[in-house]
Structure 1
């Protein structure tokens, strides 16, 4: 007689460490970074300051490592994807129009805040405190700098605007060639997927990057150095906050007829990463993913988000240069007239591509100052607080890069409103768009 097997006992559930939401990891990195930066500055601990600097620097270097090929591949693929979009020219035109409208609103907010608060008055700063930047921007440099002299230098020297130009020409040529270009299109899509996968791994290091970047800023600058710039710093943060939390929600509610709260619920991971990384281009894959999860068709998002990541800079190229021009003029004792403010608006709306999605807005600032005839030494005055300002500027940029495609898609009747209503806040996963996303560990 065969013995009967013993009945299995009750299964014991496996214990798992609870996953910490990605936003909580970022906040923890932010708080710990401020604490360590304060300790490093107050105790004059050189090794801790160096450690924070290297930690943040390596994170930014990893982001920049894939910027050049990522921009090229994304622009090429986005242009070729337009062949799958109905009324592609109409969508592209509407997107550009909304980019211009929001940039104009943003620069008017910057000018208004500057006139109301006089950020350069009473700072104690003098023209002697400034110094000319090593590289400057002018309209001639901007226009002639679009066309590269060779195909290698833009990638080695990270000249993003030239990379965008080459990618646009390549994409247009591939569209013109047609079916014969199919192998190259497939290769481009594969390369883009590869680069985005690599960038996802870097993005998961954002909490460590946050710790290093914020800690180094606190340890290096501190409140004593920031004090003369207090009004200017507050103006930049308030101006960007008005654009991000007032202008964009109004556009979404009035013109797209969607919930602004739901927009921020879906787009917040990209806005959060932009704040930390200070790079619109580095955030681009995440911006594209959250935009698609907000119901924007993938074919259109593949064009609008890369286009916006290199040209739409409401924080860096609208609010900031307007306030900076007023600040510099007041420090140097130069009166600005109505024509000067019109020029500020013109430069901000037309020249925003000069910022090219990289960290910092020095090129845009020098372009604005040179157009107005203001001393370029003013750039040196603002470099001390630039990293602190750049976080909020870049977050504003990315919010706009996600909001405008939603508005355009809604007005064109191609927005998936059900997907928009179900967008969630944790897209840092490797699942395809639309699938449930586990939170990052």
Structure 2
């Protein structure tokens, strides 16, 4: 007779890799060899240009500001074929930095942001990603970080590690031939908009984004590279400045800058099109005024944006609503709750009530039965004993709870999808009433 345990003991699956974590930084003005080789492996995984010494130094300096930590999986006790990358190059990469997430009510929740995840094709399906992400999330939980986050290139990968899609983003096309007509022209004419050098955007970015971030439900912190991306002065594919990016600033009634847009021509598009690179509007009226400016560009028939919110005031401000078209809606920010009481207590609630939920977690960080009691919009979340003395009314996985956290999906929808279970009829509707907020989450950050 044979059992699965006996089989796995008799034929252990080898894991000839060592995980090493180190800061991305400059040492005496130079990029350490381990950082350079790790960066080459990341570029390989994302089909990016191999970074040169000067470019790599610029990137490392930016990531040092963020406190970026890199992890690589390295072959140990194994030979590599002649001519192939040697064991000093990681076969898989992973990185994190820590910022915060706007969860509403003026709260910015500390969050563990994961990025640069690659596995070399010749080393897949060997448990490397599971080893990296399991180790990293355990360390983040031990450090007291209640939430992890990522933006996924391949969305089917991360659900099994407890991540759930938490915000969505839209690609939109706005017809602008002859200008954008507004239901209320005065709403799009607040303050003034003037052309500026893109360097001004580089210098203003952090200040303006901080204001937008503090006011935008679902916003997650940006890394230092965004100053270059927003101003067209470089990105992870190339640190060469773009020569065709333009900028415009919005000034409020007091003459202070409270928003900007950067944009560039899309030379392959028909009709003549400009594409928004970045748009931040911190002040009242700045958002519509910047769109009004874009609509006034001569010789342009269309404006596109890849980071529009699901619920966009522009669509409802335009007199010709059909001139606003969503061409794609896609999952954007993925969240992963690590500490259920801390995460659920941090966000606001519109309705008072009490409910007990059971959360299953494949990695164990968020597993348990939790009683949520909301009084005057503030939740107290208590871990309950799992000895049968407390019965959960609603059961779900941590992935489902993470998707519901900012309102990307309702419990009622997940119930119909077979992704959560009511232990007491009507509990899904009660949970939705607790979680509902009057605004839609929107993140403007890729990482």
Question: Scaled by the length of structure 2, what TM-score is found?
Answer: 0.21
Q: TM-score, normalised by structure 1?
A: 0.22
**The structure with more helix, counted as a fraction of residues:** 1
Bigger relative contact order, structure 1 or 2, given CA contacts below 8 A and separation 6+?
1
Which structure has the highest strand share of the two?
Answer: 2
